[in-house]
Amino acid sequence: MITALVPAFLAAGVALAMVPIALHFIARRPPDLRPLPTARFLTEDARTFLRVRRTPSDVRLLLVRIGFALLLGASFAGMTWTADRAGMGHVVLLDASVDALGDWNTSVALARAAVEEGPAASGAVLVAYGLDGPARVVRPEELETLERGERRATLEGGLRGLRAAIVSDTRFEDVAVTWVVRPTWAAWSAGLGPMRSELWPGRIDVRAVPSREAEAVGASDGAGVAVGSTAGGDTTSLGRALSALGGAGTWVFAESPSAEALAPLLDRARAGATVVLSGRLPATAATGGLPWIAGTAEPNGGRGGLALASGIRLGTALPAQTGEPAPGAKVLAVFEDATPAAVAHSLGDGCVAYLATGLHGPALTANPDYPALVESLGRGCVVFGDVDGPLDVGALRTLEGPSLEAEVNVASLAASQGVPLTRWLVLLALLFLLAEVALTRSGRPREATS
């Protein structure tokens, strides 16, 4: 099967071929050259030169020129030959790296279930990555004895392995993907959010292997949420978001706390709680373990929306507080102008996170990704401390790509893996060009001579 990486150039070649066709039809050409022994008795008739032919005078030259135009377009189109593909396939991507060792039985069970429940009637293919070698297709019965890798695998590596394995090891035309993985921040790569759709341009059904850390959080004392003093805004949305997260441990939220209210909150953080501050901080609270050095000026004007590390964007024209991250603080989110918007810093046994805008404003609470923001703030220090914590909701959504097509046409991906035809097409185009030059220089060889 021949595919084109840039089909627009093929169309351009066809359009270019129209040029010689038009020129050959509309060009005024002198009439045929014919012998006539009594030509000396003729008188010149200049009108003879004005006759326009209704048929192309030089079909051979015209065909050569059309061929050259088409070949030129095909040369730029990146034509490749790939093996024929057909049918719909279901690929189960399995993380077989050292990360999966502790929960390998769970991973295998999930993978087998995914293979059996797959949407494709034509069968499923299991692709394992994180091995010492490249990602490859494995049979389900191999899973028990599979020699897993000794290093951690990144999520980006998994997606790259998925793409390579599908292109080289399967013959499906369309593919749906299920991913059995323990999605942790440790496996997350910088820039994965923007690259996600480039690495795999389709939706992925992520079957998350339960995280031990998440289990620990879920098994906490259920202290629930303590919402501190607020400076306006609706805290109902915050409570709804935390409920959606399924309980988040001892997280304390406070919006624009006064100097007096801030001191006990910091004490709670030192005692092990996670304190999430937002809005305006008192100017006198520039030190004392806060992750943000507050400025003295009034809040800045709108700086656009927020962008989380997972690539999720929220809100528009948010009013930003002045200030800058304290030394050692981890930036959790930025405004659209790339200035820090949320930071986190450990304090004692706990953590203090700060959002440089109001957390309860409708610009954020109305956004469907609001829980992801809340979770990012609440887990800020966990990520900061490089603990093997699970991905937050936003990162998971980025990984899943719910807005992408469920089935991906593999032919277009495989085009870059096929046999490139460009050099041959260029060579052929050059031969046509030489033929065109030769025919043009030889004049009009088809004219009658007798």
Partner 1 sequence: MDSTNGTSELLPAEILERLGSLDLVARTIVRGFVSGAHRSPFLGSGEDFSRHRAYQQGDDVRRLDWKLYGRTDRLYVRLFQEDSNLQAFLVVDTSESMGFVGDGAVSKLRYSQFLAAALAHVMLRGGDAPGLASFGARTAYHVPPRNRSGHLHDLLLALERLTPGGTGSAAQALDEVGGALRRRGRIILLSDCLEEDGGQALLGAVGRLRARGDEVIVVRVASSLELGETDGGAARYFDPERPHEVTAAVLGSDAGFRQRVAAYYTTLQRGLEERGAEYVGLTTDQPLVSALGVWLMSRARREPVRS
Residues binding partner 1 (CB under 8 A): 30-49, 51, 450
Cβ closest to partner 1, residue 37 vs residue 368: 37
**To the nearest whole angstrom, how small is the minimum distance from the Cβ of residue 415 to partner 1?**
52
Q: Measuring CA to CA, which residue among 431, 440, 353, 442 is closest to residue 392?
A: 353
**To the nearest whole angstrom, how small is the minimum distance from the Cβ of residue 447 to partner 1?**
9
112-116, Cβ contacts within 8 angstroms, sequence gap of 24 or more:
112/140, 112/143, 113/207, 114/178, 114/180, 114/205, 114/207, 115/90, 115/140
Cβ closest to partner 1, residue 36 vs residue 121: 36
* CA dihedral of residues 211, 94, 97, 169 (deg, nearest 10): -170
Cβ closest to partner 1, residue 40 vs residue 423: 40
Cβ closest to partner 1, residue 150 vs residue 447: 447
CA atoms within 13 A on the CB side of 227: 17
Cβ closest to partner 1, residue 51 vs residue 60: 51
And the tokens for 319?
């009013």
**To the nearest whole angstrom, how small is the minimum distance from the Cβ of residue 444 to partner 1?**
10
**To the nearest whole angstrom, how small is the minimum distance from the Cβ of residue 450 to partner 1?**
6
**To the nearest whole angstrom, how small is the minimum distance from the Cβ of residue 46 to partner 1?**
7
**To the nearest whole angstrom, how small is the minimum distance from the Cβ of residue 449 to partner 1?**
8
**To the nearest whole angstrom, how small is the minimum distance from the Cβ of residue 60 to partner 1?**
20
Cβ closest to partner 1, residue 31 vs residue 328: 31
Distance CA 202, CA 208 (A): 18
Largest CA distance in the chain: 121
Give the bridge partners for 80, in sequence order.
Answer: 3, 420
**To the nearest whole angstrom, how small is the minimum distance from the Cβ of residue 419 to partner 1?**
51
**To the nearest whole angstrom, how small is the minimum distance from the Cβ of residue 35 to partner 1?**
5
Cβ closest to partner 1, residue 35 vs residue 222: 35
Distance CA 404, CA 366 (A): 23
Handedness of CA 212, 218, 223, 226 (dihedral sign): positive
- The three-class DSSP label of residue 312 is coil
Cβ closest to partner 1, residue 51 vs residue 151: 51
Element (H, E) at 16: helix 7-26
Distance CA 124, CA 242 (A): 37
Yes or no: say if 4 and 415 are a contact pair by the CB < 8 Å rule: yes
Yes or no: say if 97 and 148 are a contact pair by the CB < 8 Å rule: yes
**To the nearest whole angstrom, how small is the minimum distance from the Cβ of residue 28 to partner 1?**
13
Yes or no: say if 381 and 344 are a contact pair by the CB < 8 Å rule: yes
Cβ closest to partner 1, residue 287 vs residue 449: 449
Yes or no: say if 322 and 299 are a contact pair by the CB < 8 Å rule: yes
- The three-class DSSP label of residue 80 is strand
**To the nearest whole angstrom, how small is the minimum distance from the Cβ of residue 53 to partner 1?**
11
Distance CA 101, CA 14 (A): 56
For residue 78, count CB atoms less than 10 angstroms from its CB and return exposed for 0-12, middle for 13-18, buried for 19 or more.
Answer: buried
